[in-house]
Amino acid sequence: MKVAGRVLLIGLLASPALAGIVVSFNPPSQTVLLSAGSTTVDIVADIGDPLIGWGLDLGLTGTSVSQSGPPVIGPLFDPVYTPDGDGLAGLVPPPGTVSGPGVLLATILLSLDSLGTTYLDASITPGDLTEGFMCCSELGECYFADVTFVQGSVTVTPEPASLLLLALLGLLRRR
C-alpha cells in the first residue's frame, strides 16, 4: 500500500498538469457582431513552475480582426520593453514569483475588420532570449519552462438585421 501511494505521489509530481506552463485565450473562442467594432481577449496561463518573467508573440491567421493598440499587461507583472515592438512581455516584481491557474498575462484589444474567423496563436520565437517563460527554483536555478500553447479564435458575424435583409433579398430573387 505504501509503495502504491509513493508511486501515485511521484506520478502526480511529475504530471504535466502540475509542471510547465499552458498558455491559452479567454474566451477560447468568441463570436461577435461586426457592428460592435472591437472586442477584447485575455491571454492567460496555467503556471506550474515559479515564474519570474515571460515574453511571447501573438499571431493572427485570418482577416476578420486586427490588433488595435498595445496590449495591457496583467496586474501581477511589470510591462517590459520588447525588441520586436509587440509589448507582450512582463516581469514579476522582485523578489516574487507567480504560479497558479488562469494567471492573466495580457489583454488584447482587437478591431473587427470584416466577416469571418481569425485564429489566435501565441508562440515563442526559437532563439529569441526575450521570449519564453523564465522560472527559478527555490535553489536559485533559473530555466526556460516547457510551454504548451492552445489556439483561440474570433468569429465576426453580420448584424441580425443584415441577415434578415439578405434572406428577404434571397426570397425576392426566387420570384
Going along the chain from its start, the domains and CATH numbers come out as 39-136+150-159 (2.60.40)
- pLDDT by residue (tens digit) across 94-136? 889 999 999 999 999 999 999 999 999 999 998 888 899 999 9
Question: What's the confidence (pLDDT) of residue 164?
Answer: 52
pTM of the model: 0.80
Residue 70, pLDDT score? 95
Q: Please report which helix (H) or strand (E) contains residue 132, including its range.
A: strand 132-136
Tens digits of residue pLDDT in 33-68 = 999 999 999 999 999 989 999 999 999 999 999 999
Q: Residue 136 carries which side chain, given as an amino acid letter? A: C
Q: Given this model, what pLDDT does residue 16 score? A: 39
pLDDT tier at 18 (50, 70, 90 boundaries)?
very low
**pLDDT, tens digit, for every residue of 135-154?**
998 888 999 999 999 999 99
Question: Which positions ≥6 away from 125 have C-beta within 8 Å?
Answer: 57, 84, 131
Query: Could you tell me if 19 and 35 are in contact, meaning their C-beta atoms sit under 8 angstroms apart?
Result: no
Give CA–CA dist 65/71, Å, rounded. Answer: 15
